[in-house]
Amino acid sequence: MARLTIDYGGFDRIEASFDGMSRGGIRRIVEAGAAAAAEEMRKAIVEARHVRTGSMRDSVRAGDYHETLGGGYMSVYPQGEDRHGVSNTVKAYVINYGRGRKKRTARMGDRFITDREDKTEAIVTAAMQAEADRLIDEANR
């Protein structure tokens, strides 16, 4: 059987870097992930051809940062209203999930956001990892 030997000294240094990281550092990591997620949602709107005036696409951004016990989070969604006063969040929801319960008026959504979530996870994780690496490098200088 093969044997794998790992030097844990590097992990101790990384753990010490994270222990010294401020809440501001964690916020920077979350903001980097939110920026990547917003860009992916804009791409999903364009690829699904849900652009007429571009107001929903252009309104996609991260909401406020919320602290939790383990760190924090930001929600990414279309914000604001279009030129007719219709909420971009509601439009995205209806296009994604559909509308109506009665057979006669029901319309299925095309799940353009739901389908993109799996692809976005890897991109957001990579953006957050890159920002964390940058912060660790700064802390070790």
For residue 2, pLDDT beyond 50: no
The string of pLDDT tens digits covering residues 34-48 is 999 999 999 999 998
For residue 68, pLDDT beyond 50: yes
Predicted local confidence at residue 79, as pLDDT: 92
Predicted local confidence at residue 11, as pLDDT: 47
The string of pLDDT tens digits covering residues 109-136 is 888 888 888 888 889 989 989 998 898 8
* pTM confidence score: 0.77
For residue 60, pLDDT beyond 60: yes
DSSP state letters, 35-102: HHHHHHHHHHHHHTT--SSSHHHHTEEE---EEETTEEE--EEE-SB-TTS-BHHHHHHHHHHEE-SS
For residue 10, pLDDT beyond 60: no
